[in-house]
Structure 1
Amino acid sequence: MAFALAATVVAAPASAQVREYEDYEYSESVVELTTVRIEPGQLNTYLAGLETTWVAANEIAKGLGHITDYGIYTNMAPSSGDFHLMLVITFPGENMQPSRARYDEFMAAWGEANMNRSNETVVNIYNEIREIQGVYMLRELEFND
């Protein structure tokens, strides 16, 4: 009797399988998620830099329609070795391929001077106070009703 009950419990998930595109689909948007570990005492320095580089560039990209959203999330319970921040950018699905037209449009709005300052900030500050732990490209699964 116990064996039959155990076999039924184990087999239940197999009979309740979902099917791609019938039961769920992938969202059109793609999320780029970057995990960052920051050296002790450097969070405010890093955030100040992000505000003038990453945030400013993403505001332009959002205004141009190249991205739909972006955000910075903090890990409220980091353990030793864990990331401190997640940098998140949401792209419309059609904007994932490289595009010279989008690049030129962004550079016209962002400017060469901003690009050079951003690159200097990365080399001279970011590389000393943070470590990129991972970059992930995610697509949400959405269950059909």
Structure 2
Amino acid sequence: MKKILIALLSIVFSCSLQAKDRLEVYKDYDLGTEIMTVTTVKVDPNMGDVYLAGLQNSWVKAVKIQKELGYIKDWKIYGSDLPNSGDFNMLLVVTFNNSADLEPNKKKYDAFMKKWTEADEKMSNEIAAKYPDVRKLTGEYQLREIMLK
């Protein structure tokens, strides 16, 4: 009898655990409105400084203009302290206020292009052409914060 009671209690207890085996959006957690785009990069050994020098005159210059114009909230570059481990060792991150900021917009494009000169475009293309010699893009992600309640 004791064994049957223990078995029944175990079943009841496990059923109550299974009832909450998943969470519901907006009930158990909220979704943030900020969007982060993350590019994972595998920079070749001893090429981190070379890659950063290229980014300084291309990607960094472009995101600084976008931030100045208010098109992005922020940008960051992260480098691994253990550069030879894993599928990537550098992250390029851009934070947008919301998903609407990701939509194509001619007015924003035209304002950006007024600040991004033909010389900038030429330099960026020349730098990007050399990137395969120092790095490999390993992934791109679009992330949103999940806030558990």
**Aligned partner of 2:65 among 60, 65, 71:** 60
Aligned counterpart, 1:43:
48
User: Aligned residues: percent identity?
Assistant: 36
**Aligned partner of 1:107 among 113, 119, 123:** 113
Q: Within 2, Cα distance between the matches of 1:81 and 1:17?
A: 30
Give the TM-score, by structure 1 length.
0.85
Q: Within 2, Cα distance between the matches of 1:140 and 1:5?
A: 36
The superposition leaves residues 67-121 of structure 1 with CA deviations (integer Å, 9 ceiling, x where unpaired) of 0011011122355552110110001212111111111111111222101210110
Q: 1:14–1:122: structure 2 CA closer, same or farther, 3 Å change rule?
A: same
Q: Within 2, Cα distance between the matches of 1:78 and 1:8?
A: 47
Aligned counterpart, 1:118:
124
Deviation at 1:25, TM superposition (A): 2.2
Kindly indicate whether residue 44 of structure 2 is the aligned counterpart of residue 33 of structure 1. Answer: no
Q: 1:53–1:4: structure 2 CA closer, same or farther, 3 Å change rule?
A: same
> Which structure 1 residue ranges, 4+ long, deviate > 6 Å from structure 2?
none
Which of the two has higher C-alpha Rg? 2
Gap regions ≥5 residues in structure 2: 1-5
- Provide the secondary structure at the position in 2 that maps to 1:29: strand
Give the TM-score, by structure 2 length.
0.83
Gap regions ≥5 residues in structure 1: none
